[in-house]
Amino acid sequence: MTSQVVEARGAKLPEPAELEALVQQVLAEAGRLGASAAEAGVSLEAGLSVTVRLGEIETLEYHRDRGVGITVYFGQRKGSASTSDFAPHAVRETVRAACDIARYTSEDACAGLADAALMARDVPDLDLCHPWDIDAERAIVIAQRCEAAARETDARISNTEGATLSSHQGLRVYGNSHGFVGGYPSTRHSISCSVIAGKDDQMQRDYWYSVARRHQDLEDAESIGRVAAERTLRRLNGRKLGTRQVPVIFAAEIATGLFRSFTSAIRGSSLYRKSSFLLDHLGKQVFPEFVHIHEQPHLRGALGSAAFDSEGVATRERDLITDGVLQGYVLDSYSARKLGMQTTGNAGGVHNLSIDSGALDFAGLLREMDTGLLVTELMGQGVNMVTGDYSRGAAGFWVEKGVIQYPVEEITIAGNLKDMFKSIVAIGNDVERRGNIRSGSVLLERMTVAGE
C-alpha cells in the first residue's frame, strides 16, 4: 500500500465578506499608487481526494489553495501580478509589482476594464454550494465499494486503474474600480472508476464517473463501478473496419466536444486573430434549421452556472444559434473592442451551453441511422481551427439495422467541421449534464472512416 498525504485537512472556508474586504484593500492600494483603474480576484479552495486501487489506498490528498491576482491600468498600459500570500505586506508588494510592470508596457487601445454599465447589479442565489461533510475514512470506503462493484461484475475484469472520490469547495471574489465587488462559494463532488478487462491476449479499458454540486445528486458508487465494468467488457473482441463513408453517431459524452469546437471557433480571440473557420459567419447558416444552441447561465445547481463572468459583467440567457443561424460570438471586453463590438459576458468562457434535443432517444438514433458507426471514444488532437479540418482516432461500435453488432477499434474518422455541423441529422434526448456543455448524442449524415 502506498499513501501520499499532500496537506493536512483544511479548515472551513471563510465568509465571502472576508475576501471582499481583501479585494477592497487591493483596489485601494492600486489607486494609492496611481493606477487609473484596477481589478482584483481572490480565491480560496479546499478539498479531499482519495484513490483506491485493487482495494488498497493509492493516494490520499488534502489540499488548500489560495491566491490573489491584481491587474492595474495606467491609461492604456496594463500590468498584472499575483501571490498566494495574504499577508498585508505581501499584498502591497504584489500591487506594486503590477504597477511597475504597467509603467513599462506598451499602450493598447483595447485594454481596460469592462464597461461599468455592464456590471452585475443583482446577483441571484444559484444554489452552487453544498459542502460534503466527509472524512478520509468514509471516502476510502465509498471508493472501495465503487471499485469492488466493478471487479465483481465479471471474472474478465482482470485489473483496475482505480476508483477516485473527490470533494472540493471554493470561494472566489472579484472586484474592480467601477465599484463592483462580488463573489460566492461553490462545491464540486465526483466519483469515478476505470477498469481493465482481459480476454486471451486482448486488453481493454473504459471508465465511468458522476459529478455534481450536491453529493446527494451523485450516482450510486456501486452503479458507477458496474457501468465502468460493463463499458469495458463490451469493448472486448474489437474489430477494424475497411475505409468507407458512413453515417456516424457521436455518443452524448463525446458529442459535447463537437460543440466545444464550435464555441472555440466563435471565440473573440480566434476571430480577431483571423484563426477561425467561422470567421465572418455572423448571420449565416452554420447548422441545420432545427438546431438551437443557447446559454443558460442561471440554472440553479448546474455545473456551468454563474451570475457574472470573470470581469464582473452580468451573464444572461442568449441564443448563439437560432434556426441554424449564428446569432452571436463569445466575447470578453478585450476581444469585443478588437472587433468593434460589445462583450457578451463570456470572459472565462460560456455558461451552460445547451443544445436542444429532438424527439429521439439513444435507441431511436440507432434506428434512424440504420447502418453506420457509433463513436464512444476519441483520441488525439486532430482539429485544425483555422480550416475546420477534423481527423481523430476513434473507437466505438458498428451498427446494422439499428442494432449494435460488434466493437470497433483502431480507426480514424475524418471530415471538416463546417460540413459536419451542417450534416447533423438529429440530436438525441439522452442529454449529457456532467459539464458546462449539455448535449444529447448527435447523428451525422456521413463521415469518412479510415481503417484497414
Please say whether the beta carbons of 435 and 304 come within 8 A. yes
SS3 content of the chain, % helix, strand, coil (to 5): 25, 40, 35
Position with higher pLDDT, 40 vs 451: 40
How confident is the model over 188-212, as a mean pLDDT?
Answer: 93
Say how far apart CA 92 and CA 102 lie, in whole Å. Answer: 16
Average pLDDT over residues 297-313: 97
pLDDT of residue 15: 83
Q: What is the pLDDT of residue 8?
A: 38
Query: Would you place residue 296 in the very low, low, confident or very high pLDDT band (cuts 50, 70, 90)?
Result: very high
Bridge partners of 67?
43
Is the pLDDT reported for residue 119 higher than 70? yes
Which tens digits make up the pLDDT trace of 340-379? 999 999 999 999 999 999 999 999 999 999 999 999 999 9
Residue 325 above 90 pLDDT? yes
Q: How far apart are CA 292 and CA 302, in angstroms?
A: 20
Q: Which three three-digit cell numbers place residue 85? A: 500570500
User: Looking at residues 375-391, what average pLDDT do you find?
Assistant: 95
Taking the complete model, does pTM exceed 0.85, yes or no?
A: yes
16-233 folds as PmbA/TldD fold (3.30.2290)
Does residue 41 contact residue 310 with C-beta atoms inside 8 Å?
yes
Domain boundaries, the chain: 16-233, 238-452
Q: Tell me the average pLDDT across 146-161.
A: 96
| Amino acid at site 317 | E
pLDDT band at 6, cuts 50/70/90? very low
Is 90 exceeded by the pLDDT of residue 178? yes
Is the pLDDT at 11 greater than 60? The verdict is no
Helices 221-233 and 136-153 sit at what angle, rounded to 10 degrees? 30
Beta-strand runs (E) in 75-127: 77-83
The mean pLDDT value for 6-27 works out to 77
**298 in Cβ contact with 431 (< 8 Å):** no
- CA–CA separation, 85 vs 8, rounded Å? 18
Question: Which pLDDT does position 25 carry in this prediction?
Answer: 96
Q: How many CB atoms lie within 10 A of CB 300?
A: 11
Q: Residue range 285-312: average pLDDT? A: 98
Of all residues in the chain, the percent with pLDDT exceeding 90 is: 94
pLDDT band at 226 (very low <50, low <70, confident <90, very high): very high
Q: Is residue 404 pLDDT above 70, yes or no? A: yes
Confidence at 380, pLDDT banded by 50, 70, 90: confident
What pLDDT is stored for residue 5 in this prediction? 34
Lowest mean pLDDT among 84-88, 122-126, 196-200, 267-271: 196-200
Averaged confidence pLDDT in the chain: 95
Is the pLDDT assigned to residue 451 strictly greater than 90?
A: no
**Sheet arrangement for strand 37-53:** 77-83, 56-74, 37-53, 157-176, 181-199, 202-212
* Chain segment 24-73, per-residue pLDDT in tens: 999 999 999 999 999 999 999 999 999 999 999 999 999 999 999 999 99
Residue 89 pLDDT > 70, yes or no? yes
* Rounded mean pLDDT, 276-304: 98
Residue 205 has pLDDT above 80, yes or no: yes
Q: What is the pLDDT of residue 10?
A: 43
Section 100-125 average pLDDT: 96
Q: How much is the pLDDT for 3?
A: 36
Q: Can you tell me the mean pLDDT for 168-192?
A: 97
